[in-house]
Structure 1
Amino acid sequence: MKAVIQAGGKGTRLAPYSTVLPKALMPIGEGTVVDNLLEQFAAAGVREVVITVSSFGPLIRSYCGDGSRWGVTIDYVGEDEPLGTIGPLSALRERLDGPFFVSNSDVYTDLDLTEVLRFHEKGAGPLTVVLTPQTVNIPYGVLTHRDGRVVGFQEKPTETFHVSTGIYCMSPEVFEYIPQAGPFGFDQLMAVMLEQDRPVNAYQHTGRWVDIGRIEDLRRAQTQLTTLMDGMGDDVAGL
């Protein structure tokens, strides 16, 4: 079992923090974001991990090393130019010869990847997207209108959407829809597959998930983990 962590992004939404550290090395609890990802991959039976890197490559290499402390082997592939969220996989198509995981480097979650793999192998398509529900509070009165007349009104509605977690399970057949070279995003991959009426599997995760791509989300992830660890400490003290 193999996995790819895409850590080649610039992390502009996390500035100024990301001018010093890549998103993968942002501190969460007693470790970093990449610690959490590598622990989850190892628990799911992954033994080979490829990390795509760019300007922060030397720092990530120095921290992660060969992967032995997580029980995996880590290889690194450099991005000479921005390749988007899916484009970096093109250089690995010969190496990814069985089902594999792909994850963004700014994801913190308690997802059970073993269950994701089991779900993927039962699915009809070469791509499984891990989804999670997110609630959005709209702080305005929302109107619907038709032919110049208001036909509906909601005061500050709350909407729930299912969003991509940035974690996927794929089979080699997915490369049929990915260009041999050049930038290519997840949005483009979805557009191509849906246009060709190819099945895309959807695995719903209802547990913890935080995209730490923004400063406020990084702080939220840190707060959640601190609260969780304090709770575990209370439980142990009560035994």
Structure 2
Amino acid sequence: MPIGDHSLLERHVSALEKAGSQDIFIAVHYCADLFGSIVEALASRYGVHIQLLLELEPRGTFGSALALCQQLIDRGESKQLMVLNGDIASDLDLVDFHRFHMASGTDFSVAVNDYIYRVPYGVVESHDSRMLRVSEKPAIPFPVLAGYYLMQPSIGTLLESVGNGELGIDKVLSLLLERGSHISTYQHHGKWIDAGTIEDLHRANELFSARGVA
């Protein structure tokens, strides 16, 4: 998906490389066969190692990430794993996000962004049938998941009972909260958009119209 002069995938690879990542994994399912030459070119351009994780069936946001956690545990590795959604365009500072995660001391951190919902009507506040005030088409901010996550591989042990099916972030977070895990939230105030539709892809190009990568 093109954002300005570069694909959204290249923007992610560039941002990860700038943040110090040398090993990048991309979960693929739909049109997986088209990624080979693209990934080779990006790996060479940015000096990183990129491995495709082929999902024979869709595994959701966290299916492949959880399997990767288990591989890291089996190899005795403890370095953090950053997971991000491929259709997010953002200027989130990955280095600062990682610094925040390390300082928090938690096993799992999520980035959140304020989504502004504009009510298309006048909103009335009343008490005992008496109007107190009216707000014309107010804009209400909601903190939403920004599609960036940082976690310790030990998360894989906590969630090993969920199986190998499709695993969404909502289920991951709910299970962790049920088990008493402390999840940190990192507030991002910059540019952010989910470019998952053609309309939002056009909006992303307007938002990131400046030349250059990430």
Fold match by TM threshold 0.5: yes
Distance change in 2, residues 1:70/1:95 (3 Å): farther
The one-letter amino acid of 1:79's match is: E
CA distance in 2, matches of 1:196, 1:164: 20
Distance change in 2, residues 1:95/1:155 (3 Å): same
The aligned residue for residue 57 of structure 1 is 32
Deviations 1:96-145 (A, max 9, x none): 33201101110111121111111111113211101111211010234578
Asked if structure 1 preserves the Cα contact closer than 8 Å seen for 2:101 and 2:184, the reply is yes
Partner of 2:170, secondary structure, is helix
CA distance in 2, matches of 1:168, 1:141: 37
CA distance in 1, matches of 2:29, 2:56: 7
Deviations 1:171-221 (A, max 9, x none): 112111352411111001111122222110111111111110122211111
Asked if structure 2 preserves the Cα contact closer than 8 Å seen for 1:143 and 1:150, the reply is no
Distance change in 2, residues 1:191/1:94 (3 Å): closer
How far did residue 78 of structure 1 move?
0.8
Does 217-226 or 33-42 show the bigger shift? 217-226
Q: Which of 1 and 2 has higher RCO (CA within 8 Å, sep 6+)? A: 2
Alignment: residue pair count:
203
The one-letter amino acid of 1:125's match is: T
Asked if structure 1 preserves the Cα contact closer than 8 Å seen for 2:5 and 2:211, the reply is no
The aligned residue for residue 115 of structure 1 is 96
CA distance in 1, matches of 2:92, 2:12: 10
Deviations 1:19-68 (A, max 9, x none): xxxxxxx0111110011000010011100011110121111222121612
The aligned residue for residue 172 of structure 2 is 189
The aligned residue for residue 140 of structure 1 is 121
Asked if structure 1 preserves the Cα contact closer than 8 Å seen for 2:191 and 2:207, the reply is no
The aligned residue for residue 187 of structure 2 is 204
Partner of 1:63, secondary structure, is helix
The aligned residue for residue 220 of structure 1 is 203
TM-score (norm 1): 0.77
The aligned residue for residue 76 of structure 1 is 52
Which consecutive unaligned segments of at least 5 residues does structure 2 have? none
Which consecutive unaligned segments of at least 5 residues does structure 1 have? 1-25, 231-239
Asked if structure 2 preserves the Cα contact closer than 8 Å seen for 1:140 and 1:155, the reply is yes
CA distance in 2, matches of 1:145, 1:76: 56
CA distance in 2, matches of 1:124, 1:75: 29
Partner of 1:93, secondary structure, is helix
* Runs of 4+ that moved beyond 3 A: 94-97, 141-147, 149-155
The one-letter amino acid of 1:105's match is: G
Partner of 1:120, secondary structure, is helix
CA distance in 2, matches of 1:62, 1:150: 66
CA distance in 2, matches of 1:174, 1:94: 9
Partner of 2:110, secondary structure, is strand
Asked if structure 1 preserves the Cα contact closer than 8 Å seen for 2:69 and 2:154, the reply is no
Deviations 1:70-98 (A, max 9, x none): 12101111111121111122332243332
The one-letter amino acid of 1:210's match is: I
The aligned residue for residue 21 of structure 2 is 46
The one-letter amino acid of 1:88's match is: S
RMSD: 2.2
CA distance in 1, matches of 2:44, 2:151: 25
The aligned residue for residue 86 of structure 2 is 105
The one-letter amino acid of 2:89's match is: Y
Partner of 2:177, secondary structure, is helix
TM-score (norm 2): 0.85
Matches within 5 A, 1:79-98: 79-96=55-72, 97=77, 98=79
CA distance in 2, matches of 1:143, 1:150: 10
